[in-house]
Structure 1
Amino acid sequence: MNNHQPHLRTVNVIRYVTPLREGGSLPAIAEADDEFLYVLKFRGAGQGPKALIAELIGGEIAHLLGFRVPELVFANLDEAFGRTEPDEEIQDLLKASVGLNLALHYLSGAITFDPTVTTLDEKLASQIVWLDCLLMNMDRTARNTNMLMWHKELWLIDHGASLYFHHSGLNWEEQALRPFSLIKDHVLLNQATMLEQVDQEFKVLLTEERIRSIIALLPEDWLTERSFESAEEQREMYARFLTIRIANSSIFVNEANHARETVI
């Protein structure tokens, strides 16, 4: 059993290296004061803090379940950091992102997972599909796998498109009980033949206590949804959404199995 205790280090960004013109979060490679490079996700990007919330929750749940995920860190951006940036778009992004952002350790030399080159075993494929059903992660398709091969091992990245229900109102209780219809487009669906076994194993690991310990990591100033009276109430929504969804995982497991049988 994975005894990973959720904890994120905090680093200070000291150098903006290069933008990565991909995704709604407009990430960039940046250097921090620990001398490591990170893929930096900005709170001031289009989807705001919610993309960072999904990234943190998704990445830490994946880590808890034993997947290889680049280390997540809080990345502090000083108010003076963007003043010398010549690109106006980037300068505006930096100004809007002062304070705590989120960053992933940069896997230098990693290559994008290609399913035509690398075949995963059915157990691992089933584990990834189960995770993405739980998180409602729409962004693991053949066009954009969001998986990397690094030192001949598979790494999961970019969970910012998960939990998309939080962009569209307060029907989270209804959403928690919905199947994940977009699983039909998952790059690994055809190989995911062991979902029932994975379901039993992962539900043992994902206790309510562990879910709440991950949710507790969310910084208060990311929790700015006006529909909630407090940051704590918004945290409670995420915790309850996930615990309800895990308790009713047969809904999304059955949907995934049906989708796989349909496309085979």
Structure 2
Amino acid sequence: MPPRRAITGRSQEPRQRFAEELRSLRANKGDSLRQLGDAVGWDWSLFGKMENGQTIGSPEVSQALDIYYGTPDLLLTLWELAAGDPTQFKERYRRYMALEAEAVSMWHFAVSVLPGMLQTEGYAREVLSAGGTDGEELLRQAEARIGRQALLAGPAAPRFRTVLSEAVLRTPLRNAQAWREQFEYLLQATERPNVVVHVLPFSAGPYGLDSTDVMFLRLPDARTVAYTENAHRGELIEEASTVERLQRAYDAVRDLALPPAESRKFITQMWEEASCDPST
């Protein structure tokens, strides 16, 4: 098959295309970055980073620019494509991200850190920073992580179930306000029809996944793949017998966890404690 002929000559890579469109719209308007910042009400340096591809900003910024340029939903749509583009992730994660985007359901277990699907930006940045990520790479990876959450939105969104070890909820952020906001966001997530959250309390005793975060993806062809991760590496597992062994361990952990209603009460109590604790 011959290669597809380029029509517009613009990039087919979502993040780069987003930056190109931002540069083109500002050039056509005749604004400097400072003039754009003054007109839209955002720091002009942010627009410079967005046009250089260093960051994609937030959806609110894209909406504000759509209003200013008179391009209804154009930039917001390009932002969504850039946020969901697997090429923004490190190479070893890209195969997994491509499969994640196809999944019809997801099951997750967390040992010590909330799943990226349920993290606030403040939580994501602090966790990534603790792992040694900083500077522009920190901003890029935090945005990529938050962008993945779009998979859980909309009428065709997959079902997402997570079992959280109590240790996840007992490990606060250094930023107390960001920690409280994370609890609030988690509680809001438990109200979504396609999201189920369990808490595995310390009182459940030993369990088989005590050192492994794992995500199972149920794919449209009825296959299930698993992704395991620790502090140093992640591994995509597609071999059926290995995935099945992990699923049996996961099922045993879920049997030990609190039901969703009790889990929500548990999380609410933790949030209240964090809100009342004078040290936070």
Q: TM-score, normalised by structure 2?
A: 0.29
Structure having the higher strand fraction is 1
- Considering fraction of residues, name the structure with more helix: 2
Higher relative contact order (CA 8 A, sep 6+): 1
